[in-house]
Amino acid sequence: MPDVVRESVFNLQFPFTRSLGSTLSTFFSALAQGQLIGVRTGGRVIAPPLEYDPDTAADAGTDYVKVGPKGTVSSWTWVPEPTHLHTVKHPFAFAFITLDGADTPMIHVVDAGSESAMAAGMRVEAKFKPTEECAGRIDDIIAFVPAADPSPSDGAGEPYAAPAENAITMLDSFCDLTYVDNTSASTLLWMESLLKGQIIGQVCPMCNRTYVGPRNMCCVDAIPLDESTLVTVPDRGVVTNFTIITPVQYPGQTETEPFVRVSILLEGTDAVMAQQSVLEIPASEVRVGMHVEAVWAPESERDVSDIGNRGWGSGGECIRGWRPTGQPDEPAENFVERMM
Amino acid sequence: MARTENDIAIVGFAQGEMERRSQKTETEMMLPVVAEAIASVGLTKSDIGFTVSGSCDYLSGQAFSFVSNVDAYGAWPPINESHVEMDGAWALYEAFVRLMQGDIDTALAAGVGKNSNSDASTLYTIEMDPYYLTPLGADPWSLAALQARALLDSGRATERDFAEVVARNRASAKSNPKAQVAGDFDVDELLAADYVRNPLRRHDLPPTTDGCAAIILARGKKAYELCERPAWITGFDHRIEAHLPTMRADITRSVSTALAAAGAGVKNGPIDVAEIYAPFSFQELIIRDALDLDASTEINPSGGALATNPVMVSGLIRMGEAANQIIKNGKRRTLAHATSGPCLQQNLVAVLEGDE
């Protein structure tokens, strides 16, 4: 027998492709070739470069300067237990590193083996990935490591002639966050009812509205609703609105043909169940005013693991969809003004 | 000084349970707090002229949770409402500016954060510079630690100073029924703990807190109708610094706080109590330095963010606590501070005054 889900872990993942603009394109194109650069603006060299001078908001220009690959640590911290987002998987340092030829520090990883090796003033040098693996990203530098030779970097401070066209103009990034959500008391009630094959709601004692799916509050009167307000409502009602969706094949989309999603006002209630699917008839035959009834999954196949805290109207994997009852339609004009 | 219809005051403050893990959604957390704040000044929801909240969907991981949260206001018929993806202190600033238009005389500002759904050490990497910092997984603890190390190396503070800030705040928190981490802590024992990010230990970091708070503002005569001793906002300013912490001339000084304090008129008189939002222990030292307060000013009698830190709410709580020092404790002049962004990037300062 399936059970309610009290806590759910989910990953929020999405890709971004960012355009870099001229200054950052110049920086990352040079970086992919193993060359660090800064920009001279406002009488100092900012490295890595910015498009604007943060002190004045003036255009930072294109007076590019070679910096590094060695630099000096001005502040540091130690990460004893890296997360999955850190680029180095063993204990490492983050540091402010002022590259030779630059006047402002950058933040990067220092891989020095142990915390005791770290100190302000230490000389470090950039350790790049193999050239063929460099993609024009800040992590093309695997880490800074203690400089074998602390003497100044060759060529630091010399002008850098940017190519007419940059090889790197875009940055692919990927967001990957993990959440652990706990199911609220009202959502647990909803899950329990669906597993039993019942639809429940709550009646506000102030405005008398019947909400489908308990929320433990009336969102019109802003008062809490307790379990004494719970009611079981019919699993049949009328379509109040619909849309036909032509699916775009984004990640996670399982539909391939145009499909319909409807809002359903259950008998005796005041809030629709939204985003419901219709079974047994083609999408083109769905009408506002049409009577429908729930098609329940067999008890053993019911599942509420996809119902989150805001899935008030969702039937999860308990309600397969809704089928026409064959009763004569209600007049559509009775529903077109509905908002909820 | 006689108040005019242009003067705006905090007249009511409510805060909900502050806990490590709430079993409620953000909307459910807000409902009783908003109701309590409105009822505390004898109003009903339809009396509120403007409503604004601060929250961030990335904390709970629920897209458009800030829209669901409108349910907590009972926003039907439709209300005049706004939202900032910032701490509720900035929502309060928007409400303050809205009241200055003069056509309404009450406003509600709320903050809510369900922080326990996410992991601070990974979540906040996505608010950093997306080209130079996010790809490295630059986390807020590491960035704070880089600032702390620089402060130590400046010679103006020691790790013992950090621990003393923690011990004092947690001891003050004993008298705050909403505090999450409170008690007497021995500084030597605190200093014996391992580093989370050298030179920061676990106690130098804020706790993870789920919570909500709400404040009622009123303008002119309305403030006296709703509150015997309103906390008049006589100065209010906020300033921001460069996005990359490495672009600041001196990371151990908070120029934005000093400018906001000057803009808010902090030096126009003595400050009896200051509520400072310093999420990391050593940042209280930097903020105090920038505010240039007298030794007589009491700092964080509530215990501050080291005792209770619902992100998106902590700054608003500082406003409420500073106001209650006037409304309930008869203090004359108090200060509230809020911060946002890595290494104290953005800072807000308000000066509150009670009548003579």
Complex-level ipTM = 0.94
Residues of B numbered 310-339 whose beta carbons fall under 8 angstroms of chain A's beta carbons: which are they?
none
Cα maximum dimension of chain A: 90
Average pLDDT value for residue range B245-262 = 97
Of the candidates B76, B123, B135, the beta carbon closest to that of A139 is on B135
Interchain contact B143–A (C-beta under 8 A)? yes
Q: Which residues make Cβ contacts (< 8 Å) with residue B184, sequence separation at least 6?
A: B167, B170, B171, B174
Interchain contact B123–A (C-beta under 8 A)? yes
Token pair, residue A98, equals 């002022």
Size of interface A-B (CB pairs under 8 A): 171
Give the tens place of pLDDT for each residue, B269-320: 999 999 999 999 999 999 999 999 999 999 999 999 999 999 999 999 999 9
Of the candidates A24, A75, A82, the beta carbon closest to that of B146 is on A75
Token pair, residue A337, equals 């003004």
Distance between A74 CA and the closest CA of chain B, angstroms: 8
Interchain contact A58–B (C-beta under 8 A)? no
Determine what percent of chain B is predicted with pLDDT higher than 70: 100
Q: Which of A12, A79, A307 to mutate to test the interface with B (most CBs of B within 10 A)?
A: A79
pLDDT confidence of residue B356: 87
- Asked whether the beta carbons of A183 and A216 are under 8 A apart, the reply is no
Interchain contact B62–A (C-beta under 8 A)? yes
> Where in chain B do CATH 3.40.47.10 domains reside?
8-119+208-228, 134-204+232-353
Instruction: Choose the weakest-confidence range: A127-136, A194-203, A248-257, A290-299.
Output: A248-257
* Alpha carbon distance B313, B56 (integer Å): 11
For residue A312, pLDDT over 70 is answered with no
Using the beta-carbon criterion (under 8 Å), do B122 and A178 form an inter-chain contact? Answer: yes
Q: Which residues make Cβ contacts (< 8 Å) with residue B157, sequence separation at least 6?
A: B151, B282, B285
Chain B residues whose beta carbon lies within 8 Å of the beta carbon of residue A94: 136, 138, 142-143, 145-146
Q: Which residues make Cβ contacts (< 8 Å) with residue B251, sequence separation at least 6?
A: A75, B146, B147, B150, B245, B343
Q: Which of A204, A219, A223, A225 to mutate to test the interface with B (most CBs of B within 10 A)?
A: A219
Distance between B151 CA and the closest CA of chain A, angstroms: 9
Arch. (CATH architecture) of B8-119+208-228: 3-Layer(aba) Sandwich (3.40)
pLDDT confidence of residue A83: 94
CATH code at B134-204+232-353 = 3.40.47.10
Instruction: Choose the weakest-confidence range: A53-62, A124-133, A247-256, A316-325.
Output: A247-256
For residue A338, pLDDT over 80 is answered with no
Chain B residues whose beta carbon lies within 8 Å of the beta carbon of residue A79: 142, 197
Using the beta-carbon criterion (under 8 Å), do A218 and B143 form an inter-chain contact? Answer: no
* Alpha carbon distance B288, A236 (integer Å): 64
Burial group, residue A90, by CB count within 10 angstroms (0-12, 13-18, 19+):
exposed
Distance between B200 CA and the closest CA of chain A, angstroms: 9
Distance between A79 CA and the closest CA of chain B, angstroms: 6
For residue A1, pLDDT over 70 is answered with no
Residues of A numbered 97-116 whose beta carbons fall under 8 angstroms of chain B's beta carbons: which are they?
104-109, 115
Interchain contact B138–A (C-beta under 8 A)? yes
Interchain contact A76–B (C-beta under 8 A)? yes
For residue A325, pLDDT over 60 is answered with yes
pLDDT confidence of residue A65: 98
Residue of chain A with shortest Cα separation from B38: A222
Average pLDDT value for residue range A39-43 = 96
pLDDT confidence of residue B20: 97
Sheet harboring A319-324: ordered strands across? A273-276, A259-266, A236-245, A291-296, A319-324
**Residue where the block lists tokens 């705040």:** B169
